[in-house]
Amino acid sequence: MQAQPLPDHGLPSTIGRIAQVIDSDRLPTGERAALRRMVPTQAPPLTFYRFALRHLDAGWDADAELRKDWITIVAGLALMSPNAHRPDRRLGTALAEAGYSEARLERLLAADGDTRRTLLLRAARFLAAKGSACNWVDAAQLLLTRAPDKREQIQRRIAKDYYQSAS
């Protein structure tokens, strides 16, 4: 049986909390660098487990897919640190304003599993290179939502935000 992701009302506070920890002086530079280098298709470093056990909500490791999703979320926040998470700036808006191509967005939204995780990390690197922050709750929902109809709603919202900002 697949574990259910956190309810939406808990996800924003979880994302905000872990973004704050990654940005803070409490996290040593070497550990932040190790989190940045993580790839969801490879075993994470011990640094991730220490971070996850201290800062992620219970259930983050309920199954392999959920664990990979959280590895991706933490790695993406670390890649874009400092100031990766900006709750008032939707993911689609940030991508459009940074010049992310429509073809890349289409591949990201259509992908599943490890491909989606890899493409999301590429998008995070793109935004980091542009010095652009976004609402990481959008990215987390894109990864964590298992129900096809709800995932489609999230994909539509990201696309809508992208096209409204691109025009």
- Domain assignment present for residue 127? The answer is yes
Look up the domain containing 73 and give its range. Answer: 11-166
Q: Would you state the pLDDT for residue 147?
A: 95
CATH number at residue 121: 1.10.520.40
* Nearest to 40, CA basis, from 66, 4, 14: 66
Angstrom CA distances, 113 to 4, 11, 124, stand at 16, 20, 17
* Res. 7: pLDDT tops 70: no
Position 167 confidence tier, pLDDT thresholds 50, 70, 90: confident
Q: Is residue 3 part of a domain?
A: no
User: Over the stretch 122-153, which tens digit does the pLDDT of each residue have?
Assistant: 999 999 999 999 999 999 999 999 999 999 99
Helix, strand, coil content of the chain in percent (nearest 5) = 65, 0, 35
Does residue 101 belong to any structural domain of this protein?
Answer: yes
Amino acid type, 152:
E
Interval 31-48: pLDDT, tens: 999 999 999 999 999 999
The predicted pLDDT at position 9 comes to: 54
- Let me know: does 103 contact 166? Beta carbons within 8 Å: no
User: In this model, does residue 78 exceed pLDDT 70?
Assistant: yes
> Across residues 151-162, what is the average pLDDT?
98
Domain count within the chain: 1
The answer as to whether 35 is a domain residue is yes
Distance of CA 143 to the CA centre of its chain: 7
> What pTM did the predictor assign?
0.93
**Cα–Cα distance measured from residue 32 to residue 106, given in angstroms and rounded to the nearest whole number:** 30
Q: Note whether residue 133 is domain-resident.
A: yes
Exposed e or buried b per residue across 20-38, where buried means at least 16 C-beta atoms within 10 angstroms of its C-beta? ebbbeeebeeebbebbbeb
Residue 3 has pLDDT above 50, yes or no: no
∠ CA(65), CA(50), CA(117), 5° rounding? 30
Does residue 83 form part of some domain?
Answer: yes
3-class secondary-structure state, position 120:
helix
Which tens digits make up the pLDDT trace of 96-128? 999 999 999 999 999 999 999 999 999 999 999
Report which residue type is found at 137.
V
Classify residue 6: in a domain, yes or no: no
- Give the whole-number percent of the chain exceeding pLDDT 70: 95
- Within a domain: 5: no
Q: pLDDT tens-digit profile of 57-67?
A: 999 999 999 99
In whole numbers, what is the pLDDT of the chain averaged over residues?
A: 94
Sign of CA dihedral 35, 36, 37, 39: positive
Q: Where are the alpha helices (DSSP H) in 90-147?
A: 91-98, 102-110, 113-129, 136-144
